[in-house]
Structure 1
Amino acid sequence: MVLKNALARVNFALRNGTLRSIVEQDIHRNITFAATLRHLDTKFGELLRKRTPIIASTKVKCLGEESLNRPVVSEFRERVKERFRPHPSSRIIILLPCSARKPYSMSRSHIMFRNAIRKAGSSIFSMLSELIVTSPLSLVPRELENIHPARFYDIPVAGSWSEKEIEITSNLLSNVLSRYQEDSIIINHLHGSGYEDIIERVREKSSVEVIDTSYKAPPTSHQSLQELSEALVNTKERFSLNQTEKVISNTKKIQAIADFQYGPETGKRIFHGKIKLKGRYPRSPQIFRDDKHIATMHASTGYLSLFPAYTEEISKISLNKLDFGADYVSGSNIYAPGCLKADTHILPEDEIFVLYENDVIATARALVSGEDMNKMTSGKVAEIKKKKR
């Protein structure tokens, strides 16, 4: 009966995508489990990362330092490092703490931060970039707070950071900050010993000016919020209006999600001109460009689906292509014998572009990783979403 219940628990977790969560829960009760997971992450972490979906809607319950090696967490950090590109108009960078409620912008603390930012004037948002410093994801740009796993993770807050967390987070933060323009200014609105250690290491690696606004008191205190507003007012005066490009926040958000999902520079390539969203949560917003419906943002995951007719604009630079052996896909599935070559960045559940001689003929949902697509000789590798008419 015990074995039957254990197997039922595992099967349920497999169906719901929560197996890693129950494994991390169990290792705190068994030393052997902990050693096994540590060995698995060390020896096979890269293999698991390339075969674990990042497009999902399951809760990511992180219990301890072992969550730093969780495949979906590692993949998120890697994509932020390799694919996140700050908008050229972003000249003021605000570092903010995370919150228990997700997405962060719905939390009480971040609403207070946003109100303090507004006191600097509406024009500040065009030159602003908000980065949330957290663990185990390390860094979440505001534009990516609604996607998985950023919107779905949860971790017990103890107020302390381990050396490994500090090292990983400071390295990623330094890498991301290096992508901003040299005359950008960092406003550090973090408070606490762990955050201080992270910022100290960032200062050592970067020559960008850092202004502390929450050094003496917690970030949500009246004093810190007042210092934040004043710092923004003073900083804004350093940049003239012609130095920054006015851009709507929704456009920056969609472009960042596209870069994260399809590859660097794809966002600005397809989401340009007049971008408008129609529909609100819990419905999935429809995205229009110059009054033409080009994509959908799924409320359940935060990710995008593009119409095949518009994927041609980014297919050459995207990292989710599958070269097919015919100019038409019959039926609703793609099988291994018809696949010529797949991008190795493809993960299960990713939206992929099916190409024939460099022309997109359909979009599909990957069932296996790109590496496995290149190795398989039989079996189903993807399901068709939309065919190009």
Structure 2
Amino acid sequence: MTRYFEVLRRDGPARMGRLLLKRQISTPGIIIPQDYLSVGSVFGYGSLEEAIAAQESLKELKNEKKLAILPYVPSALHLKPALELPALDLDGPKGVLVYPFSQGAPQDADVYLMGNAGSLRNPRDLVEAAISVREKIPPDSALYAPALATPANLALLIYLGVDLIDGTRMIADGLLGRYHTRDGVWTAKELEGKSELFCLCSHCQSIELKGKEEKRAAGQERDLFAAHNLLKLEEELLVVREAVRSQSIREYVERQVRVTPGQTAALRLLDGEQCYLEKRTPTSRRSTFYANCAESLQRVEVTRFAERVLERYRAPQSDVLLLLPCSARKPYSTSRSHRLFAEAIGPARRHLHELILTSPLALVPRELEEAYPAASYDVPVTGRWDREERAWLIGCLEAYLKRNRYTRIVAHLEGELEETVRESGLEAIYTGGGTGASALSRLGEAVKEACRDAARLPDLRLLRYRAHADFYLGQGAGDALLAGKIIVRGREIQDEKKRPLATWTINGSMALSMEGAERLEPLGRYIVTIGDFLPRGSLLAPGVVGADEEIRPGDEVIIAGEQAFGVGRAKMSGWEMVASRRGVAVEIRHIKGRL
């Protein structure tokens, strides 16, 4: 396991970290020849013994803190290398080349180089190669993709899980007369006759475009192309790093892949790898969730929310279901339209259950409107629903109604949303939607009639707290947390002795107290098991003995050990805590010794 690389932030497969060489490299970052020493291909030596001897010589680099890249056996992209070299233990940082489609786990290293990365032009090969290598190597090691990065594809590469890139392709393309920007690549011939370039850098200002002394300046122009290309790659790297830092890398990737059909295809193929993405995607983000394109329907945050509503969430025992449209303002209850709906419903609200229909999340129960991403998403509003959105919505609604039964349904919907629900064959009282006086009057009358003799629901605040507990910690967590007499004080719930059990934050996440954690521990979920010690500050990955595989970055977790019991917020996934030997696993909020 690595001693020289540490992951500091995560946003899906994209990470920010640091590689501790002589020159510390912040990742995602560019590695340069001065950072490493490679002994190259075994075919560069007279015999295999000479190659092994060259590998052994790398041990002498331990004081230089350069990345020592072991010799490798060249192989075609989809073929297994003809032979395998013996493993080598080094005191310093070590790099090992891994072929994406070879079998077996590679030897331990700090940095893994993706073999044949520069030849990954096919979108399917690119996605499969990145996933294959990432799944084979430890999560706390860095992935380096040589000779592959351009300003246009950099965001996609980082989102695939690449940590390190280089400027090889930029220099080579520049010398071949190719001019790169984040919007694509142009050849020198395509630029001929243009009065100006698309960049104001000093290199571009020096390029002669009008043909003067063309033959004499041709070599100089290619050097300037190479320098410009490197600069554009470095600039794009800054943008991508900020996107990861601000937890908006997915939105940036969705925009950037439009540069070429191949990149758009790669993103769609990647979205098909839901397991790979889901186990790396945080349960919440600080940034607004923008669903700007068709690919947004396939995002992990969308499918995860829908799955939890259908599998973890348990609707209250209600006779009446009210279907409502979403609103531009989130949470919905703060919007003008939903305030008007609430006024029109009046006291009947305690006798019905509200379900909001929206794209891309499909269904949002009223109790979960503050959960991520329901409380912080935005979509282009046109009033039109395409076939994919309609199919997704109706599929989720039908699955929900099979699991939760109602005797009467009122649908206050309009336009294509009403048309979509009607065409599904749902039997309901359709009021026509709207927020005008007559529309609200129809809503009030329909609800009043539907709720005649309907059972009264429990305190709506308790329903919300139970729903959030199940949503974040699994079905049954709400019952365990709210067992007995419960006191509600704003966003905090307390037991009969007025001891806090949990608090719901403004962004909809849940923070457990020690008493709340003790109630949930017997369920055996979202528990991080540690060794025989009492941690102070943050819990580091080496101290983790076991962790629930359901844990994702941002989850509330329970810390349990022979000497310690506590609660905190996960900084990495459960599987990653167990497999890593470096990095913060949990930010501890409360900890105490076991009696």
Which of residues 431, 452, 460 in structure 2 aligns to 1:237?
A: 452
Q: Report Cα offsets for 1:128-187 as digits up to 9, x if no partner.
A: 211110011111111111122111110101212222222221121222223334x53211
State the alpha-carbon separation in 2 of the partners of residues 198 and 34 from structure 1: 31
Q: Report Cα offsets for 1:237-287 as digits up to 9, x if no partner.
A: 132xxxx35422111111111111111121132125233123xxxxxx433
Alignment of 1:142 with 2:346, yes or no, is no
| Aligned amino acid, residue 146 of structure 1 | E
Residue of structure 1 equivalent to 2:256:
26
Q: Which has the bigger relative contact order, CA under 8 A and spacing at least 6?
A: 1
Cα contact 1:54–1:72 (8 A) shared by 2: yes
Structure 1 runs not aligned, ≥5 long: 204-208, 279-284
Please give the residue correspondences for 1:1-389 in structure 2 after superposition, counting only pairs within 5 Å: 1-42=231-272, 44-88=273-317, 90-118=318-346, 122=347, 124-181=348-405, 183-201=406-424, 203=426, 209-214=427-432, 218-239=433-454, 244-272=455-483, 273-278=485-490, 285-290=491-496, 291-299=498-506, 301-317=507-523, 319-326=525-532, 328-356=533-561, 361-388=565-592
State the alpha-carbon separation in 2 of the partners of residues 135 and 13 from structure 1: 24
C-alpha change, 1:194 and 1:21, in structure 2 (3 Å) is same
Residue of structure 1 equivalent to 2:179:
none
C-alpha change, 1:83 and 1:199, in structure 2 (3 Å) is farther
Larger Rg: 1 or 2? 2
Secondary structure, counterpart of 1:316 in structure 2: helix
| Aligned amino acid, residue 213 of structure 1 | T
Q: 1:360: how far off? A: 7.7
Query: Bigger shift: 109-118 or 160-169?
Result: 160-169
Cα contact 2:279–2:552 (8 A) shared by 1: yes
Q: 1:202: how far off? A: 5.9
Structure 2 runs not aligned, ≥5 long: 1-230
| Aligned amino acid, residue 428 of structure 2 | V
Secondary structure, counterpart of 1:27 in structure 2: helix
C-alpha change, 1:329 and 1:78, in structure 2 (3 Å) is farther
TM-score (norm. length: structure 2): 0.57
Query: Bigger shift: 16-25 or 314-323?
Result: 314-323
State the alpha-carbon separation in 2 of the partners of residues 371 and 30 from structure 1: 35
TM-score (norm. length: structure 1): 0.86
Q: 1:222: how far off? A: 2.9
State the alpha-carbon separation in 2 of the partners of residues 360 and 109 from structure 1: 49
Q: 1:194: how far off? A: 4.0
Q: 1:382: how far off? A: 1.9
Residue of structure 1 equivalent to 2:20:
none
Q: 1:377: how far off? A: 4.8
Secondary structure, counterpart of 1:114 in structure 2: helix
Identity over the aligned pairs, expressed in percent? 34
| Aligned amino acid, residue 437 of structure 2 | H
What is the count of residue pairs matched by the alignment? 361
Q: 1:335: how far off? A: 3.4
CA-atom RMSD, angstroms?
2.2
Secondary structure, counterpart of 1:268 in structure 2: helix
Cα contact 2:500–2:515 (8 A) shared by 1: no
Cα contact 1:270–1:310 (8 A) shared by 2: yes
Q: 1:21: how far off? A: 0.8
| Aligned amino acid, residue 188 of structure 1 | A
C-alpha change, 1:371 and 1:9, in structure 2 (3 Å) is same
Secondary structure, counterpart of 1:329 in structure 2: coil
Residue of structure 1 equivalent to 2:90:
none
Cα contact 1:262–1:318 (8 A) shared by 2: no
C-alpha change, 1:174 and 1:335, in structure 2 (3 Å) is same
State the alpha-carbon separation in 1 of the partners of residues 576 and 282 from structure 2: 14
Secondary structure, counterpart of 1:133 in structure 2: strand
Q: Report Cα offsets for 1:201-222 as digits up to 9, x if no partner.
A: 263xxxxx521111xxx42233
State the alpha-carbon separation in 1 of the partners of residues 337 and 460 from structure 2: 20
Cα contact 1:84–1:259 (8 A) shared by 2: yes
Q: Report Cα offsets for 1:291-344 as digits up to 9, x if no partner.
A: 322222222x21111112222222233631222333x43222333443333221
Cα contact 1:308–1:360 (8 A) shared by 2: no
Secondary structure, counterpart of 1:386 in structure 2: strand
State the alpha-carbon separation in 2 of the partners of residues 234 and 10 from structure 1: 55
Structure 1 runs of 4+ aligned residues shifted over 4 Å read none
Residue of structure 2 equivalent to 1:281:
none
State the alpha-carbon separation in 2 of the partners of residues 342 and 162 from structure 1: 41
Secondary structure, counterpart of 1:238 in structure 2: coil
C-alpha change, 1:156 and 1:146, in structure 2 (3 Å) is same
Q: Report Cα offsets for 1:335-358 as digits up to 9, x if no partner.
A: 34433332211111111112237x
Query: Bigger shift: 329-338 or 20-29?
Result: 329-338
C-alpha change, 1:8 and 1:98, in structure 2 (3 Å) is same
